[in-house]
Chain A
Amino acid sequence: MQPSGFRAKHNTHVLRVLIVLVVLGVAGGLARALLLPSSFGKYGHYRADAVREEMRRPLRNMTNESCLACHPNIKKIHLAGVHRTVSCEVCHSAYADHIAEGKVVAKMPVRRGEEIRTLCLRCHNRIIRARPKESIKMIAMPDHLEQKGVRTDHLCNQCHHVHAPLKWIREARAAMGLPERPQTAAEGGVSWMRD
């Protein structure tokens, strides 16, 4: 029924376009069904397996208990002093750098020299004024060294045991037969630290 000499019907091209669009739509739908992760949408608009993956992220830091379990000597000192709330791993790096699969894989760094002073001053530097006054003992450098009558190039750990800062001071006083000095709140740790 072609009035003129055209090979195609008047709407052939429109039908072809429609067929292509439908095929594309169906193919897209199929591809989506195939590619959608299986656990997607189980609980919401996300892949439920991602929760498990995050759960299984390996631990790198442990706790002080896990460190002290193998270091009984340090444990005795660390837990007896006012630094008992200080984390082992902050100064010595993460547990996972030291132990992997139950084996010692590397030695932990031990801070020495100038590093010690920097570490101590992270908390105890009085000139950083933004610190609660009652919380911990604050000192200014080199005033503190001058006050105590020692050379100003002394490092903190020449007088203070880093794990229990008052240990040697107290032992020295006891050895000298001096009376125990009444503790200030900051030295003994404030109430919440003693709990």
Chain B
Amino acid sequence: MHGLAETASGAVGYVFPNDLHVHWSLMIVLYPYITGIVAGAFIVSSLYHVFHVKALRPIARFSLLFALAFLACATLPLLNHLGHPERALNMMLTPSPSSAMAGFGYIYSAYAVVLLLEILFIYRPTLVRLAQTSTGWRRSLYGVLSLGSDNLSDEALALDRKIIAFLAGIGIPMACVLHGYVGFIFGGVKANPLWATPLMPVIFLLSACVSGIAGIILAYMVIKRGEVDMTCIRTCLKYLWGFFILDFVFEMLEVFSHAYMATHHWETLHTLLWGPLFNSYWVGQVLIFSVVPFFLLGVLSLVRLDDGMVRFLAPLVSLMILIQVLLMRWNVVIGGQLMSKSERGAVFFHPEWFEKEGIVPAIVIMVLPLVILYVLGKIFPFWLPAEEKRG
């Protein structure tokens, strides 16, 4: 219980003595989960801001704040995981050019800047107006957030529009880099046959989009209750289905190619997938939380269901997708470590509730973005009044 690596709860076959420890546990499951939600939410907003999918207008601003709330917490699981969190800035100080992990500090920071600026520029007209109508500390706060400028002339707004287009434009590749790169952190580990595949960044990216869209749908419907824009929801569901088809197909393709090629790695993977990972992978990730939402989304996208049905199914299917992605992260991150590099055995792992990296800290870290989102909602109005002119 030294809170560094957790020890496996059992083993089958021969496991290298040092492989009895699971070094990357719940925190490293959450890290790609959170950055995935960030990247996915950003892409939802970009669908409106860059690709002009008009139906998504009601959630375009909210998605950015949603992304920001999760982005603010993306480093927490990492810091909690590190043996020496006080040395975390070494990543920025001496990033190794050969390390797949070293870029995180800079990519994360750059993306945070882009996201923050995009929010400030998009919200500027609103913030200027709020600065003028509020008093006291709120007035000063809005003054700072509107960058000390009250200029809402056509010339200024035209400049803002250019900047927003630029930020949203570079934001898409950056969101992809942020998360595809997280996939590469795993995909580039040649010593681990479950991780080492060029498909890994692709799967991570697609599942990121899926979790982001699902997160937005769920949050939007929970916050707005009866007042949701049904066209927006239906459009989101179609995108969700599209991304999820790709995501699920690639996930299956990866396992299928391993099984078909049947190199010596397959024996190890087989031991894993039909051993310690059977329930969380086949039963959880694949059967319940992929196949079921896959068909539900198909029905939602292809059949014209009435609004009541959509109102009932959309949050349900979104929640299932969110669980699917969490399970996928679990199965990749934890699963990869359950196979010993001895190629002759695997370990079992069950998280503890009160470990440093246990279930309770994980819940706290997942609730925190929602708290931040609530606070952000007090400052930045999530929803557009119907008559407000878009910048």
Contacts and interface: CB of A to CB of B under 8 A. Distances in A.
A–B contact via C-beta, under 8 angstroms: yes
Interface of A: 3-4, 6-14, 16-17, 21, 28, 32, 35-36, 40, 45
A32 B150 CA distance: 36
Contacts of A40: 94
A30 to B, nearest CB: 12
16 contacts: A4-B153, A6-B149, A6-B150, A7-B150, A8-B148, A9-B151, A10-B155, A10-B156, A10-B159, A13-B147, A14-B163, A16-B147, A17-B117, A21-B113, A35-B93, A45-B98
B97 interface: yes
A12 B148 contact: yes
Interface residues of B, number: 23
B124 interface: yes
A136 B334 CA distance: 45
Given A8-B151, A13-B147, A13-B148, 15 more contacts: A3-B153, A6-B149, A7-B150, A7-B151, A8-B148, A10-B151, A11-B156, A12-B151, A14-B163, A17-B147, A32-B92, A35-B89, A35-B93, A45-B96, A45-B98
B32 to A, nearest CB: 26
Contacts of A32: 92-93
B-side interface mostly: loop
Contacts, number: 55
A6 to B, nearest CB: 4
A8 B93 contact: no
A40 B113 CA distance: 29
Contacts of B149: 6, 8-9, 12-13, 16
Contacts of B156: 6, 10-11, 13
Nearest to A4: B153
A4 B148 CA distance: 17
B290 interface: no
Contacts of B96: 45
Contacts of A12: 147-149, 151
Given A6-B153, A21-B113, A36 B94 contact: yes
A21 to B, nearest CB: 7
Contacts of B150: 6-8
B152 interface: yes
A16 B124 CA distance: 14
Contact of A16 (B92, B148, B153): B148
Contacts of A10: 151, 153, 155-156, 159
A14 B148 CA distance: 10
B146 interface: yes
B124 A13 contact: yes
A16 B143 CA distance: 13
Contacts of A13: 124, 146-149, 151, 156
A45 B94 CA distance: 8
Contacts of A16: 147-149
Nearest to A40: B94
Contacts of A6: 149-153, 156
A133 B153 CA distance: 94
Nearest to B99: A45
Interface in B62-94: 89, 92-94
B95 to A, nearest CB: 9
A117 to B, nearest CB: 26
B118 to A, nearest CB: 11
A10 B218 CA distance: 39
A133 B185 CA distance: 48
A11 B159 contact: yes
B307 to A, nearest CB: 42
A31 B266 CA distance: 48
Nearest to A41: B94
Interface string B102-133: 00000000000100010010001000000000
Contacts of A11: 156, 159
A13 to B, nearest CB: 4
The interface centre, meaning the residue of B94, B124, B148 with most chain A CB atoms within 10 A of its CB, is B94
Contacts of A4: 153
Contacts of A14: 159, 163
